[in-house]
Structure 1
Amino acid sequence: MHRYKEWGRRKKGVAGIIAAVFLFAMIFTTGLSFFLIIQYNYQLQHMAAIERAQMEQEQSLEQFELSATLDDNNFMHVVVNNTGPINIQIVYLFVNSTIKTLDLTSSPIMVNSGSISSINSTQRYEGGKYIFKVVTGRGNIGVGTYPLPPSPITEEWLAETQFGPTRLYFFSFRYYEYKSEFVLNNYPDGNSGFNATTKPIAFRVKISNFDPDKRTLTLSKYSHMWIFFSGVGKTQVWYIVNVKDDGTIESTYSPISIPYGETKFLVFASKSAGSFKGLGDHVSAPTSGTGYATLLLHGLIGTDPYSQNIPFVGIFFE
């Protein structure tokens, strides 16, 4: 009996030890797990902090300049000049915030350091001030405007570089044949105007208003292009017209206004001032060979009378 009691006491002692071991193991395991979780979270936070610091550093290194140009069809192209030390990706392009948005996230536009990239906004310029924005893959936002505010221009500068308040764009000169009686063919792309056909055609000129007094230029129905053909000693005249987006020439001319700092395309097509009656007003060169084109612009600048004669280009007709 004595031995049995002693053995019972031993069993209770062993059970207590085992229970203590299990309790210690549970506490140790729980504590170790908690410690490992804390360490893992700390490592995640540390890595996230490093990545964030690296991203912020790279973001601060992004440096780029924005500008915009118009192509021959008057579509706006946003030009990104990467002046920073790292490459950038353009993922969004906005024009006037709402009228045009390009999502480039699936195929970002890469602009390498020191490089320039032009992005077609697919938005046609309709006049006035346009604000455009680009967003980079690192979250930087660039903002630009078109047209840029013109630089101050003095009368002396004008006298040396151009006649009066207008500037002409030599390589945007185009001519059009007719698709039908009132519709120009291949409008607005047209054909290079330096070599033209003797068939009935119309001409297009790109012009900007850089009036030093910042007045609006309004062109009357008497504005025209006249071409002198030295081979036969004759002059032919093409009067200004209004043209719709589909290339249709309107039958009655409405004065065209060019605000200060803006650029527009002018089309000269009619034999008559102020109207276009179809076949009867088609104009063609009287002969093949060389012609010397001059613009005569007439109307108002602000509220003052305006008239300007501008020698422009030479054209070979065949």
Structure 2
Amino acid sequence: MLLPASPLDDPQARQEWVARALATWDRQALGEAALYASRLFGWHERQTLAVLHNLCYWCREQGYTWPHLPQNALLLFWEEATTHRPPLSPRPLRKDTTLYAWWRGLRRTLEVLAWAGAEMPRLELPPKPQYALVRPYLSEPEFAALLGAARSHPEGRLRRLGVAVLYLLGEAGVWPKELFALRLEDFHPASRVLRVRGEKARTVPLSKEATEALQEYLEDRESIATLAPLPSPYLFVRMTNKKGGLGRPLNMNSLRPLLERACELSGVFPERILGALRWRAVRRYLQQGLPPAEVVRRTGVASVAPLGRERGQR
């Protein structure tokens, strides 16, 4: 990833930058380092920045100096944030999803400091919260309506693509970036297995319906592949020539309009279609009786709780 020129480009300058910021608990300077690292490594920075700002403020209020923090400093900070409230927030951390995001942000803050070359004291990280299944999800009728809408898409070449994509996102629990990275050899129709690449590489069993949807899509893909000057090795390719994209690898710019069109045709409008599809897949696995650990393995989510522990579900 190309980033604008910054003093943080140089390791020595970066180390000095962070050391000066830690000496005065300079939240703005440390935030710039965290933002730089997040963009460099593709991390989600919003919660990391929130945790970092609150932690720096709290450490300064406690009179701590870096790196001379007590080993239980993070535990004390976590207790303050979860039982009372974060020092810069009007409300305590209550929802399980928020607790998990803050815990991950706390860990990421330490990773940023270590990456920058800061002297790292021995600090005990709070126990990892269990990520309860509380996010909005697609119901079975809603998912069926989306499939029906995809099958009736006005552009014929997009029909089978839309159905196949919906099955992988909403049934197999594949993430969009994993979807785009799939190659032809990753799909094994005989054994009904999909090999997912990336940081959370895994094999995912496919239902009979999902396997058939992929096979039908591949029939359309084969005709498209003959039109491209260079055949694409990727499983999913663009099926229209809009902006010269026919046969090129599928990406978010082409996936999102496809899903939005399915929502329009079906009348199903979740707040976040990709998240709703993913959590539909998670719930489906749990309803099939799979233990949470196996659901985590198949979907690549951080962790889930059994359905009996849900709170605040609709």
> TM-score, normalising length from structure 2?
0.20
**In proportion to residue count, which structure has more strand?**
1
Query: Normalising by structure 1, what TM-score?
Result: 0.20
Q: Which has the higher helix share?
A: 2
